[in-house]
Structure 1
């Protein structure tokens, strides 16, 4: 903890030390206005008020879009977001890596696509890939706080929204789109992605797709941690094969829009455990999106969304035989009404329903991992905002009823109530401080209640508990930030007390595929206990989006502990990092250095501390105009030092290092 405190103190003091410089900048009003003008306004689609990133005072938000998104784009959503403030990744090989926010993962971090749940099973286990494809995303949003209550009581950690605008909301004057292809040296990775938007009369049209192929990737050193005699070279079963295709159409007018879309995903990737396996994943998704502008007096918009997902993946052994087949068929509806200011309050009210059939059945005639379970959820929510003089107040509430009805087991019902409120005070122009408090309740997930079989990809035999209580999280967060000028900064501290926290405990017992004493699988027993998570984050930026030199420094840390003693499993390491960039006309370049400290705060079943590492990345791009096309040539270098990097948040940290030095070459065109 001394190292953590020193790092966070240094980062926060560094941020505060920019005050004098910022005040000097503010001395000239004209210079200040010019500084603000270089920062683009990117709208947060998942926010009920449709505000830009800089306006997210009560819900700390990050938006990846444009060049920044393309530079950070990885083969998985977790890899793409892994160096954002407070965000780490689960790191289960190249094919599956899910975002972890402030030490919370799984079903506590909700995955959305265009504001609707992705409805895959990535929250169940780290070996399951998120089915939303970042390669065709227009932007990716990270959201926490009161606004997250619109999307689920279980989003204690927050949510990630992948926005691909598959259902058009505006008419294009002429066809517009982009194409990109890239090649990576570390895994012979080849990918091509693109999207096209157009219009026929008042009907908007969209199509997008992505093809990705990569071989097993090279690793810098020995495969097994602290075992020089283990294999090296390429990491077995770290390949990926992915195809996505989506299309949508929408009727658009001054009144709003009404549209539909369909998309498919096929994904096959390796699981780099010592035993080795593969996952064959497929999904069909259908969406409907309707928005009415000012349909009645006092009503700004009415939205209705419907999404249906048919998801399946098979976990294959070394003979390509299905050991476990996971399936989820889910129907979600959302209705939202945003009202005009009423007694000074401006906000959104709505309702949401979810209906899902989930199962994880044996493909070999053995015990099922999770029985067929029908789950329903019905929720009412409200998020409101009002100014009291200079102080802006934001509050949200969500009431939800969740039922789990398994085949051959005990039916459970959970009544959930979640609330959040915060305030921001701009105590002087350009600076603000804020506080947010929240109480959020989460129903135990289906696998936490009813698991009772082998999960071969993680080499575990999972055992749930149908008597689990609902989780209740109580969170407080304090923030201080500078939001204008060339130099901007923010610092957050938070504490999260969770009653009846559910976690998987690997107790060391070895069993076979039937659950009897053996040597194939480790027992993972879901348990419940009170827990605490606390942490801090700080970030300072200079000229983040303008021409010339730009700089960013950040640090984050969090620690999760069980109240009765011991650490929560797979906690993120304390990090500190520096980014430098340069823009001049068509030329753009950047360098990033991230230092992660040794993570030795281990759960009872974790054996090895995760070593410290330094991750160095760089990028350079040049854009040229060719007629009506913008053509961008780029090169991205990752892990330039060829370090043996292992993620403390990965179940496979002892046997699956990240890729070694990698050079990505590509070209992108926009028209």
Structure 2
């Protein structure tokens, strides 16, 4: 049997290497809490995007939050950023309803990596806030947020963190009968009609999966005027804030006792408006093909598993003028591979090491073939090796990780300079369980990021953001030095955690805006584009987070409170742009029999710590949300849940400091969402 596995592993490696260019785990027990009161230990949730599949409360290098089940469904928005915006340390870019990306600890864009089943989305959302994320949370089993140093395992650029959408598109387990989830919902604020479906099945040794989502939302209602400084601006509904999304994914895998090998295909088709005076809109199409394989004990007794993943993405979106004329075509053809070997314990150390490659061809060109190139056709190649090791020393757990990466940028324009970067990143962390259920953690890391293609080579108009972007061929790599201290209680009905961190970034890259220009980049006081230069400076981001909860997953009363704050500054040059504000929030819930209810309140301070070129200080706001659901036992295998969710109950005028459009595009007003879902 070992010989068969070895031959199979060798065949898979040799066959697939040429294609790449270079559980919810639950335990329940009754244990005494710190006050010697018997309490139920709540279920542990496996974080799939960590090397050892640890639960969310035992992470050192990757402090984790996992949204799943009813909690995820109640927080679902029209975008990934909206869905995650009230999680600890997470805010959103909020560029209308169609495009909103997570911002983690004040870090945005390419510093936050978006994954799907552990692989990069490979869209264009990291380029600009108006670009939608090419992944869908409505069909996900869970969404994982990794904040902190270990996110470097998925890319040296992931200084801020990682978000992983887990949809089980490639099955890893066989099911006895078809299982899945279906949901239909309607929202009043934008007349949203949303239908989602996810089904798992099996045919012999073949696991099967299909998922899909249809969303159609009109322009959404706002409490006051669109422009905070203009009482004559639009009111009632925010013009051009519509969003339409279609997605479909199918997958299959061959599953045996030795592991699995499978493939999937996913398609996204989006159309959404940009709520600015230009009234532009974006059409987006993405096709993604993934291969995934796991072989247990591939080379005999030394290794636990060999895992490989290969993803290929064909991405395109077009930015249209109000009358439908195509303005700019963004394209990204990319392939990524990831190869991991997990070895069995050696002198008490458990570890995973591997290689990751990525090859892409990216461009943002005028749709009619004339005018300046927003981003010229550029090829990028990267290859990285990574290692993470973990060992327990009694009550002390030590984890270390390292990554070395080579990145090459090659524009096809001979007038532009090729750039090569060698990146070295590493992290070291310890977790001391000084008494059962309580732990103190300390981590430190150094992470480096190569300038993105648009930061190096942009030189043209960007219709949807109304900016004329100018890159700098001479930008240097970013180097982040991060240290974090955490204290947490992970057992019992009452749990809490607190983190403080400091991140010093050398050569931090940011967009600096100046005056207005015309479509050719010529200075014009009445020009429709704001000139934006990609610039560098040393920066420091400091912050703190705290969260306490009571009985979050159990019946009866549940409580949660949280607060987070961060402040980013460019050394000797003022504040970083688009920084999140200090927030304080609380939730109360009650579960009894078929009924489930909840109420949440989040207060955000005003933001007047502006960058030198920012002009709008966002006011404070308080957002109140509520939910109520009833689960009807229609049959033993197919319960039906009827639900109602009320967002922004007080109809507050909410403007996010992390949004480029904060002065002209508030968030939606009061929204009643009603729907029904079933699990089978």
- TM-score normalised over the length of structure 1: 0.95
Aligned-residue CA RMSD in angstroms?
Answer: 1.1
Q: 1:647 aligns with which of 656, 673, 676?
A: 656
Alignment partners' CA distance in 2, 1:26 and 1:470:
47
Alignment partners' CA distance in 1, 2:640 and 2:545:
37
Q: 1:138 aligns with which of 132, 136, 141?
A: 141
Alignment partners' CA distance in 1, 2:149 and 2:256:
31
Q: Is the 8 A contact 1:58 1:434 kept in 2?
A: no
Counterpart of 1:417 in structure 2 is: 424
Does residue 475 of structure 1 match 2:471? no
Q: Is the 8 A contact 2:149 2:444 kept in 1?
A: no
Shift of 1:241: 1.0
Does residue 345 of structure 1 match 2:352? no
Q: Is the 8 A contact 1:572 1:648 kept in 2?
A: yes
Counterpart of 2:667 in structure 1 is: 658
Does residue 637 of structure 1 match 2:641? no
Counterpart of 2:123 in structure 1 is: 120
Q: 2:609 aligns with which of 568, 584, 601?
A: 601
Does residue 181 of structure 1 match 2:184? yes
Q: Is the 8 A contact 2:60 2:429 kept in 1?
A: no
Shift of 1:24: 9.1
Q: Is the 8 A contact 1:551 1:580 kept in 2?
A: yes
Q: 2:290 aligns with which of 273, 283, 287?
A: 287
Q: Is the 8 A contact 1:58 1:424 kept in 2?
A: no
Alignment partners' CA distance in 1, 2:490 and 2:552:
12
Counterpart of 1:397 in structure 2 is: 402
Counterpart of 1:84 in structure 2 is: 87
SS of aligned partner of 1:119: coil
Alignment partners' CA distance in 2, 1:151 and 1:571:
24
Q: 1:64 aligns with which of 45, 62, 67?
A: 67
Could you give the per-residue CA deviations for residues 38-86 of structure 1, whole angstroms, max 9, x where no partner exists?
Answer: x222211101001111222332100001111001011100000000000
Shift of 1:624: 1.1
Counterpart of 1:624 in structure 2 is: 632
Counterpart of 1:493 in structure 2 is: 500
SS of aligned partner of 1:148: helix
Does residue 377 of structure 1 match 2:382? yes
Alignment partners' CA distance in 1, 2:61 and 2:382:
27
Q: Is the 8 A contact 2:580 2:657 kept in 1?
A: yes
Counterpart of 2:532 in structure 1 is: 524
Alignment partners' CA distance in 1, 2:638 and 2:32:
41
Counterpart of 1:221 in structure 2 is: 224
Shift of 1:147: 3.2
Alignment partners' CA distance in 2, 1:647 and 1:248:
38
Q: Is the 8 A contact 2:501 2:542 kept in 1?
A: yes
Counterpart of 1:10 in structure 2 is: none
Q: 2:622 aligns with which of 590, 614, 617?
A: 614
SS of aligned partner of 1:220: strand
Q: Is the 8 A contact 1:218 1:235 kept in 2?
A: yes
Shift of 1:230: 1.9
Shift of 1:25: 4.5
Does residue 548 of structure 1 match 2:547? no
Shift of 1:228: 2.2
Change (3 A) 1:27 1:521: closer
Alignment partners' CA distance in 1, 2:546 and 2:148:
18
Q: Is the 8 A contact 2:264 2:291 kept in 1?
A: yes
- TM-score normalised over the length of structure 2: 0.94
Q: Is the 8 A contact 1:135 1:193 kept in 2?
A: yes
Q: Is the 8 A contact 2:152 2:159 kept in 1?
A: no
Counterpart of 2:271 in structure 1 is: 268
Once the two structures are overlaid, the 10-residue window that deviates more, 370-379 or 481-490, is: 481-490
Q: Is the 8 A contact 1:316 1:322 kept in 2?
A: yes
Once the two structures are overlaid, the 10-residue window that deviates more, 424-433 or 162-171, is: 424-433
Counterpart of 2:77 in structure 1 is: 74
SS of aligned partner of 1:276: coil
Does residue 514 of structure 1 match 2:520? yes
Shift of 1:27: 4.0
SS of aligned partner of 2:623: strand
Alignment partners' CA distance in 1, 2:345 and 2:83:
38
Counterpart of 2:358 in structure 1 is: 354
Alignment partners' CA distance in 1, 2:554 and 2:535:
50
Shift of 1:226: 3.1
Divergent runs of 4+, >4 A: none
Alignment partners' CA distance in 1, 2:188 and 2:654:
18
Counterpart of 1:668 in structure 2 is: 677
Structure 2 stretches lacking a partner, 5+ long: 1-30
Alignment partners' CA distance in 1, 2:327 and 2:229:
31
Q: Is the 8 A contact 2:104 2:147 kept in 1?
A: no
Counterpart of 2:439 in structure 1 is: 432
Shift of 1:144: 2.9
Q: 1:320 aligns with which of 317, 320, 324?
A: 324
Alignment partners' CA distance in 2, 1:630 and 1:615:
32
Q: 1:329 aligns with which of 333, 355, 373?
A: 333
Structure 1 stretches lacking a partner, 5+ long: 1-22
Alignment partners' CA distance in 2, 1:245 and 1:141:
21
Does residue 466 of structure 1 match 2:470? no
Q: 1:303 aligns with which of 287, 303, 307?
A: 307
